[in-house]
Structure formats: C-alpha cells, structure tokens
C-alpha cells in the first residue's frame, strides 16, 4: 500500500482503508451472529469505551482491533494481527488473536485455558530476570513520558537477557501467553490493543495488571504482564523508577 493511501491519526500513527474495512466486516459478522451485542473498535468507535471494565454496558460487548500493527502492515513487516475479545457484564469471557501472515490463531475462554491453533499454551516458567526475555512497546506518538520510559528501559535492560519491541501489542501479549516472552510492559495501551491478550495470558497462568497492580486494565493505561514471579519483579522494578501520573502515558504499540 502506497504512502499516499495512508491516513495519519497522529504522529507516526496511521490508519488505512484496510483497517476500516476489516473492522466493518468483523462488526457486521459479530452483530449478525449475536444480535443485541455491541462492538467497540479502534476505527469505528474509538471514543466510546468507558474508562473501567465495570462501566461497560451490560450484556455482551466485543472489543475489536481490526489491524493491530498497522505500521508493520504498511511496511510489509510480518507482525500484525486481528484481535477480538468478548466481554459479558464487564468480565472477559473469550478471546481470539489471529497473527495474519503465518495464520496462527490464539484463543482463550475464561476457565477453559489458552490455545495456539490446536495446542495448549502456557506462560514461561522462568523466574530469574537474568534469563528473561521481555517484550515492550515504546513511545511513537505521545512523548510526554519519554524520560520515564527511558528509565524503565534502562532498568529492565540492565537486569535481563534482552528486550524486544516487534510493534503489535496484541501479538506481544500472545508471546507472553505462549512462553516466548517472560514478561511485557507498556506505559499506555488502548483496550482494543490488549483485551484479547489479557485473557490469553491469564488463562495461560500469568498475571496482567497496570503499574499500580490493578487488574482492571481495560482502559487507556499501563500494562505489566508475565508469569507470577516475573510480573512481581517487573512491577517492583518499574515502580522503582517511577510510574508517572496514574500509570498513564505513552502511545500504543
């Protein structure tokens, strides 16, 4: 897709007709299959999600990112996904993330575990930070907490085996659920970036909270994830460098 076909939503934040058409198709399919449900997505309804899970409308709500990793898609970097989560009365019940180029499907249901295609997946068992590979999303559009992020990055880089930033938060969270990443943090993600991945990690035996340790992460805010030991270490290490204003801050992945 040529740059002339991209639309900038913000600094280094692009949207294309592929995003919009994908979300329209997903929304139509879900609403036809589940009449009376509601679809909240990045392109069709970005301002409609209430700040906290408890404030979501009653009944079934779908939280959709039709193309997570748009910049990767535009540059033919094969790390982008479609992410869909089902929330019923404020509770995450089901999730699906499709890693598009290799056609890998991650799914989870509350109480039913997490799967990659037909195989069960689980979070990493690594508990020593020196052996850990950590995923992250760094700022690309909102720079007001760049200094905070740099302190976080330095602290994590000094204590671990490495840090990776592929550029799709939905897939980063899948990599935590599948045990490839031992942990993940980002200072600001939107609900559609993370909703499916949150359930996948929890069903794979991991923990997901914000920088304050609050498990209600379905809002525009910070995310810290990993197996219980790595999650606890990440929280302690990141908060030791400061958590910003209410854990809010940077742009999504």
| For the chain, domain boundaries | 3-120, 129-239
Q: What is the pLDDT of residues 85-144, one digit of tens each?
A: 999 999 999 999 999 999 999 999 999 999 999 899 999 999 999 999 999 998 766 678
Tokens of 24: 């329209």
- 229 vs 224: CA distance, rounded Å: 12
- 234 vs 183: CA distance, rounded Å: 8
The pLDDT assigned to 245 comes to 41
What is the pLDDT confidence band of residue 10, given thresholds at 50, 70 and 90?
A: very low
What is the pLDDT confidence band of residue 13, given thresholds at 50, 70 and 90?
A: very low
- Cα end-to-end span (Å), the chain: 20
- Report the range of poorest mean pLDDT among 20-24, 83-87, 178-182, 235-239: 20-24
Is CATH 3.30.540.10 what the domain over 3-120 is classified as, yes or no? Answer: yes
Contact by Cβ (8 Å): 141, 12: yes
Q: Which residues pair with 64 in a beta bridge?
A: 41, 84
Tokens of 101: 């180029």
* CA 41 vs CA 55, 94, 184: distances in Å: 16, 16, 23
Per the listing, tokens 């990493």 go with 124
Three-state DSSP class for residue 197: helix
Three-state DSSP class for residue 31: helix
- 109 vs 189: CA distance, rounded Å: 22
Rg of the chain taking only CA atoms, in angstroms = 17
Q: Angle, to 10 degrees, between the axis of helix 169-177 and the axis of helix 191-203? A: 0
State pTM to two decimals: 0.88
Per DSSP (E only), the strands in 138-201 are 162-164, 183-189
- 39 vs 60: CA distance, rounded Å: 9
- 78 vs 104: CA distance, rounded Å: 12
The pLDDT assigned to 149 comes to 93
Is CATH 3.40.190.80 what the domain over 129-239 is classified as, yes or no? Answer: yes
Identify the sign of the CA torsion 168, 170, 172, 178.
negative
- 164 vs 181: CA distance, rounded Å: 9
């Amino acid at each position: 897709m040529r740059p002339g076909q991209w639309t900038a939503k913000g600094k280094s934040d692009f949207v294309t007709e592929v995003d919009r058409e994908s979300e329209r198709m997903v929304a139509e399919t879900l609403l036809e299959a589940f009449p009376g449900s509601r679809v909240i997505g990045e392109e069709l309804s970005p301002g409609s999600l209430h700040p906290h899970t408890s404030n979501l409308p009653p009944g079934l709500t779908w939280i959709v990112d039709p193309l997570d990793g748009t910049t990767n898609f535009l540059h033919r970097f094969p790390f982008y996904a479609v992410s869909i989560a089902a929330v019923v009365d404020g509770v995450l019940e089901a999730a699906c993330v499709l890693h598009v180029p290799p056609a890998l499907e991650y799914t989870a249901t509350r109480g039913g575990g997490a799967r990659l295609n037909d195989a069960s997946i689980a979070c990493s068992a690594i508990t020593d930070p020196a052996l850990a590979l950590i995923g992250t999303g760094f700022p690309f559009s909102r720079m007001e907490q760049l200094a905070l992020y740099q302190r976080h990055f330095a602290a994590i880089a000094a204590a671990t085996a490495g840090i990776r930033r592929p550029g799709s938060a939905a897939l980063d969270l899948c990599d935590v659920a599948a045990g490839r990443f031992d942990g993940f943090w980002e200072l600001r993600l939107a609900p559609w970036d993370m909703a499916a991945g949150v359930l996948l990690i929890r069903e794979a035996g991991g923990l997901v909270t914000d920088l304050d340790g609050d498990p209600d992460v379905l809002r525009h805010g910070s995310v810290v994830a990993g197996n219980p030991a790595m999650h606890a270490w990440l929280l302690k290490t990141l908060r030791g460098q400061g958590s910003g204003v209410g854990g809010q801050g940077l742009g999504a992945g």
